[in-house]
Structure 1
Amino acid sequence: MKINLLEPRALCLLLISTLTVMSNATIAPALPGLANEFSGTPSADFLVKMLLPIPALFVVIFAPILGWTADKFGRRNQIIIATIVFAIAGAAGAQLQEIEAIIISRAILGICVAGLMTAITALIADYFSGPKRSQFMGLQQAFSNVGGILFIVTAGYLASISARLPFYIYAIAILLIPLVFLSIRDTEPTKQPSDSQQDDINTHWKLPLIGCSLLLFCHLIVFYILPTQIPFFMADIGIADPSKSGLAIGMGTLTAAITGVFFGKLVAKIQSYGVALIGFIAMSIGMLVLSQANSFGLVILGCGLMGVCMGLVMPNFMVKGMELVPINKRGLASGVLTSSIFIGQFVSPFITSTLIAKLGYSDFYLLAGAFTLALALIGTATLKKQSNLSTNLNIGN
């Protein structure tokens, strides 16, 4: 039961999914150059740093709203509009002359990412069910991570020429519009045995959705240590070469992509709660390794284990969060899950920086490892209970 990656709609959804990782990472290599360019502007250093988190903030705000619009007005139209505006707003940063104007364009970019992620997740739930849905969510995670690697490497090269050139990478999105027109359709999804057939007033789906959202939120707080704290940690232990911190972050992204490919097979063998247990334990061990790390090799190992968790936990809780949701609420549910992810990204630097300042890196990583171990137990219990609930509801139907 394999997904044909050459099937137009599957390929389209996977390629569109790579756009969602572009919102933050793509201009990261350009930040020093932009800070230099706007050095004469009041509060320039702060404003330039805000270019990275601003899209995530607007994803948080608009994802539930655009999840509702995806249910109300259709997923296809939302993807088309969001992709076109994404390309324009993203590339606009190359030409806008004021830093405030670039920040506004980044906010619009975040709204587009919210529109894309909610519609894509809802379509995946519409088009696929059971093992195929799990398999596709894993492939989506893999494509997103591979796309992230390609975009950040390309952006680094372009930023060495001009700080404005990486913004043009966003314009690539416009090339996907013809594929969306040809392959994506809003279809009345067939109700599957694994899908909820509950009436709208039934609240069985709400608590599992909230549980999955909270676990995703907690997971992202810990995982976002990778891009936000690892470079500073490496400098603290005497590894000052920026290229090595890039390799460490890249290792986490690479292992996330690899494990995402195998996610569907793992779910079929050990169930979703088994996958959650393995994923969070991998992260916990990764934190333990980093707490003792004094060499580049140990940092690479710790970051790789963090990526294993990302590749398993993200698709796992996205799939389970959508599992019991009524068909006409899938867009809204995907908006809630998307918001939880980006809230975690947004607050992670504030929480982790505060704890590191108080505890130091070693003790902080030990605390993060213990927290992740607790997530392993809570996540496993939550998903096991949800699987039992799903089974009971299907028997009742």
Structure 2
Amino acid sequence: MKTSLLEPRALCLLLISTLTVMSNITIAPALPGLANEFSGTPETDFLVKMLLPIPALFVVIFAPVFGWTADRFGRRNQIIIATIVFSITGAAGAQLQGLEAIAISRAILGICVAGLMTAVTSLISDYYSGQKRSQFMGLQQAFSSVGGILFIVTAGYLANTSARLSFYIYAVAILFVPLIFLSITENKHIVHLSDHQQDNKNTRWKRPLIGCSILIFCHFMVFYILPTQIPFFMLEIGITDPSKSGLAIGVGTFLSALSSIFFGKLVAKIQSYGVALIGFIAMGLGMLVLSQAASFSLVILGCGLMGICMGLVMPNFMAKGMELVPSNKRGLASGVLTNSIFIGQFVSPFITSALITKLGYSDFYFLAGAFTFVLALAGATTLKK
């Protein structure tokens, strides 16, 4: 089945993909302001930081469920409902009166993200196969990153006025609903010839899928340092302007977009294991730069290297993971891979905050860099099998 990357349903899927990155990092520049607003609440700093990964926890809980429902009942209605509720609960944080209420709205937001990610990933595998699937997943990551740039930089500037204004950015999701109605169709029974051949050839798909999931988990556990720790790290080294933390995170997402555009061509030349090696090495170098950073320019460089890793590693393991499974297990596979992303996001602030408290920022970033170089070898070895 021939499918143009420029057709309305392709554009719709790419736009929806921007919502998944919006779910967490959008309010990152507002965290110091929220901590100040709720300074009278016990354990405020920890609770405010947890506003970022709370959606991830509920993605972890509900992604397997929505992966099954996407296979069983279809993708389109799941996307429509999740998008509408996403816009309402995301924007609700601007008006809610307490950390507990905001946390609940973030939990519902996470449930919506689980529905979106599993259904969208399944539809991409329905519509595309082979090299075109890899190319599209690279574009998906590029759109997510560009969306991240717009959302995080805008949130940084809004945070200068009020930390609460950043939540209104989530309301943009409602604008996608008419496009979903008009362009997305159900394609539950599409099986591409290459997928049919792969289904017959590969009956041992569970173990390599788990391997991809573990590597995605480790990647996000390290990468999520960017939105959860960079704003506070910049305060530590004397950079107090919240718009600069938004800019630093925006640079990371920009380079993620730039590198992911070339993912399809790169994987065709050096294969998926070569892409994994280059991506993780870039992140390791980024961690080493941050371990020595005492200026805004070095923070920008470190965040940029992390973004390059994101742009290569994310579509690489997602495409490989979806390639491994039979066509009737795509929803299940998307649920497993989505789970690995958000488990990594959820545990990241627990692990990184504890290590930073014990080691300090410099030694922590050095340790994270060493761990990422190990991931480079592990990722290349896993995908070369």
Identify whether the pair has TM-score above 0.5, normalized to the shorter chain.
Answer: yes
Q: 1:297 to 1:87 in 2, by over 3 A?
A: closer
Partner of 1:388: none
Per the alignment, residue 94 of structure 1 pairs with: 94
C-alpha distance in structure 2 between counterparts of 1:374 and 1:30, whole Å:
33
CA drift at 1:174: 1.5
What letter corresponds to residue 51 of structure 1 in structure 2? Answer: L
Q: Which residue of 1 aligns with 2:168?
A: 168
**Aligned letter for 1:193?**
S
Change (3 A) 1:196 1:301: farther
Structure 1 regions of 5+ residues with no counterpart?
Answer: 386-397
Alignment of 1:355-370 (within 5 A): 355-370=355-370
- Give the corresponding residue for 1:63: 63
Partner residue of 2:192? 191
**Cα-to-partner distance string for 1:231-256 (whole Å, 9 max, x where unaligned):** 34344445454444333222211111
> Contact 2:30–2:159 at 8 Å: present in 1 too?
yes
Give secondary structure in 2 for the equivalent of 1:21. helix
Instruction: Tell which deviates more after alignment, 295-304 or 135-144.
Output: 295-304
Change (3 A) 1:287 1:337: same
Once the 2 structures are TM-superposed, how far is the Cα of residue 368 of structure 1 from its aligned partner? Answer: 1.9
Which position in structure 1 is the counterpart of 2:341? 341
**Contact preservation (8 Å) 1:18, 1:147:** yes
SS at match of 1:193: helix
- Once the two structures are TM-superposed, the CA of residue 329 in structure 1 deviates from its matched residue by 1.1
1:267 is matched by which residue type in structure 2?
V
The answer to whether the 8 Å contact 2:153/2:243 transfers is no
Partner of 2:8: 8
Q: 1:208: how far off?
A: 1.0
Range moving further from structure 2, 25-34 or 262-271? 25-34
| Alpha-carbon distance in 2 for matches of 1:41, 1:289 | 35
**Which ranges in structure 2 are unaligned for 5 or more consecutive residues?**
none
Q: Which has the larger radius of gyration?
A: 1
Instruction: Please give the alpha-carbon distance, in whole angstroms, between the structure 1 residues aligned to 2:233 and 2:203.
Output: 45
Alignment of 1:15-30 (within 5 A): 15-30=15-30
Aligned partner of 1:115 in structure 2 is 115
Paired residues in the alignment total 383
Distance 1:218 1:42, change over 3 A: closer
Structure 1 pair 10/50, CA: closer, same or farther in 2 (3 Å)?
Answer: same
2:130 aligns to what? 130
1:20 is paired with a residue whose SS is helix
AA of the residue aligned to 2:51: L
What's the TM-score once normalised by structure 1's chain length? 0.88
Inter-CA distance 3–140: structure 2 relative to 1 (3 Å threshold): farther
Are the aligned partners of 1:76 and 1:185 in contact in 2 as well (CA < 8 Å)? yes
Distance, in Å, in 1 between the alignment partners of 2:274 and 2:196 is 21
1:167 partner amino acid: F
The amino acid of 2:267's aligned partner reads V
Task: State whether residues 251 and 304 of structure 1, in contact with CA within 8 Å, keep that contact through their aligned partners in structure 2.
Answer: yes
Greater shift after overlay, 36-45 or 308-317? 36-45
Deviations 1:216-238 (A, max 9, x none): 01111111122223334344445
Q: Judge conservation of contact 1:85–1:109 (CA < 8 Å) in 2.
A: yes
Determine if contact 1:195/1:323 at 8 Å carries over to the other structure: no
Q: How does 1:39-50 map to 2 (within 5 A)?
A: 47-50=47-50
Residue 162 of structure 1 deviates from its aligned partner by 4.2
Q: Tell me what 2:317 maps to.
A: 317
Quote the offset at 1:375 in angstroms.
Answer: 1.0
Deviates more, 1:183-192 or 1:239-248: 239-248
TM-score by structure 2 length?
0.91
Cα distance in structure 2, aligned partners of 1:126 and 1:171: 29
1:395 aligns with none
What is the rounded CA distance, in whole Å, between the counterparts of 2:39 and 2:209 in structure 1? 45
Q: Distance in 2 between matches of 1:42 and 1:289?
A: 34
Match of 1:140 in 2: 140
- 1:122-271 superposed matches below 5 A: 122-187=122-187, 188-194=189-195, 197-198=198-199, 203-271=203-271
What residue number does 2:75 align with? 75
Shift of 1:37: 5.2
Deviations along 1:34-63, one digit per CA (max 9) or x if unpaired, are 455556666666554433221111111111
